[in-house]
Amino acid sequence: MQHELPDAQDRRSSIRPYSRVAILGGGSWGTAIAAIARRAGREVTIWARDPDVARGINDSARNEKYLPGIPLPEGIAAYTDLAGAVRDAEAIFLVTPSHSIRDMARQLNPLLHRLTPIVVCAKGIEADTGLLMSSVVEEELPGHAVGALSGPTFAAEAARGDYTAATLAFDFRTIDRIHPEHSPAARLAVSLGCESFRPYLSDDLAGLETAGAMKNVVAIACGMMTGVGFAENTRAALIARGLAEIQLVTLALGGRTDTVLGMGGVGDLTLTCNSRTSRNMSLGLQLGEGKARAACFDGKPVVVEGERNARSVHDLARRLNLTLPVCDTVYRILHEGADLRESFAALWSRPLEAEPAAMSVEIPHPVSLEA
Ligand SMILES: NC(=O)C1=CN([C@@H]2O[C@H](COP(=O)(O)OP(=O)(O)OC[C@H]3O[C@@H](n4cnc5c(N)ncnc54)[C@H](O)[C@@H]3O)[C@@H](O)[C@H]2O)C=CC1
Ligand SMILES: O=C(CO)COP(=O)(O)O
């Protein structure tokens, strides 16, 4: 069940936002979150690895490298040293790519007060361990309340101030049900909520993170099919089957179907699978059109989480003994050199099976009509 913020205005005004928040990651999404938090009235610091990015934010309220042409709210203070960025922060948003989250958390260990809540905004599953990002952070920063922010949120649109919504999830153990206004989750939601950004609260952290990591793999599949020349029917089928795969893994990891149907599941999946703005969709599209991987994005290094995470999802599914035909097809094309056209043809000629009757089934058992 998704939790609303306490609804009545008097209750809402009793939730204290965090005054000072630190955003770690000066890329497109980190900068967009900084802009949202600043519009919501917070004192905002941002850590950027790249000194030019930090200079641009400090000197001209722009991040031309990652969000070209988008003016940012005044007053975001950018740092290139992590200690400076987090010094007075009451809450932390971790917004670097998923493969860097463990290292970032390790670096933060000596710098943070144990009560400082941490929100992971990267979408991914750790290679080798199969851990969701919040679990990675919990291992490195024990004792902190760790949550995730995820949803249909293209950075440039959110930074421009287009109406955007997302889900903020914390483990149920950290949500104070009697006094929700004291929970870091509620305080963080109020800290980010502003005219253009609407955070929903959830206690299904596993579901939210699983959906966020897997939708990128499905988006690559949709891009590939579109690039090869197939159209709307094919893409819709991939989205629906991708959603079923997300549901399987979500339930296996203890998450819930309502999360799969929410902002971070259906919301983000439909956004990324249908838009060329998505880097994941766009990678698939270019590969489907026959471009070599090295030539995609004009040879520039671009964060495409679904590429790395196709492997993490594949390994996790094996451990969980789950069959994920769509995600597996992407994995085999990207990481085992399988032929793209043949792989998708094989996907469509699998034995016929029953569609899970309802999204509420626990773990569906495919029924082969060939047997
Ligand atoms: N861009 C978007 O629309 C959204 C992105 N996300 C997620 O946010 C995360 C970050 O992505 P973006 O900001 O889009 O990427 P980006 O490519 O725009 O920026 C990446 C940032 O991370 C830094 N970085 C790269 N490797 C690093 C490392 N090893 N250690 C520390 N810092 C490193 C870069 O210097 C850069 O500041 C990803 O997991 C992505 O899926 C989530 C929602 C929306
Ligand atoms: O996660 C995103 C939007 O919610 C961004 O998607 P891409 O990483 O595919 O660009």
Ligand 1 mutation target, pool 29, 53, 307, most atoms within 8 A of CB:
29
> What residues have CB less than 8 Å from 349, skipping those under 6 apart?
none
pLDDT, tens digit (0-9, with 9 covering 90-100), for 190-213? 999 999 999 999 999 999 999 999
DSSP three-state, residue 33: helix
- Mean of the pLDDT values across residues 267-281? 98
Contact 200, 210 (CB under 8 A): no
Phi, psi of 143 (to 5 degrees): 95, -15
Assigned token pair, 370: 């060939």
- Give CA–CA dist 119/170, Å, rounded: 9
Please report the DSSP string for 297-321 in residue order. Answer: GGG-----HHHHHHHHHHHHHHHHT
Residue 370: pLDDT over 50: no
- Inform me whether the pLDDT recorded for 365 exceeds 90: no
180: confidence class by pLDDT, cuts 50, 70, 90:
low
* Predicted complex ipTM: 0.99
pLDDT at 110 over 70: yes
Distance 352 CA to ligand 2 centre (A): 32
Give the three-class secondary structure for 326. helix
Please name the amino acid found at residue 293: R
Regarding the beta carbon of 268 and ligand 2, being less than 6 Å apart is answered yes
Q: Please give the model's pTM, rounded to 2 decimal places.
A: 0.94
Q: What one-letter code names the amino acid at 288?
A: G
Can you spell out the DSSP letters for 96-158? S-GGGHHHHHHHHTTTS-TT--EEE----B-TTT--BHHHHHHHHSTTS-EEEEESS--HHHH
Mean pLDDT of 151-180: 87
pLDDT of residue 346 exceeding 70, the answer is yes
Mean pLDDT along residues 298-320:
97
Please determine, for residue 66, whether its predicted confidence score (pLDDT) is greater than 70. yes
Pocket of ligand 1 contains residue 27 by CB under 6 Å? yes
- 27 exposed, middle or buried (CB, 10 Å; 0-12, 13-18, 19+)? buried
pLDDT of residue 313: 98
Domains of the chain listed by start with CATH number: 2-203 (3.40.50.720), 208-348 (1.10.1040.10)
The answer to whether residue 237 scores a pLDDT higher than 90 is yes
Question: Ligand 2 in contact with 220 (CB < 6 A)?
Answer: no
Mean pLDDT of the chain: 92
Q: What is the pLDDT of residue 360?
A: 46
Mean pLDDT of 264-274: 98
- How much is the pLDDT for 371? 33
Rounded to 5 degrees, what angle do the CA atoms 325, 348, 272 make? Answer: 60
On whether 207 is known to bind a ligand per the annotation, the reply is no
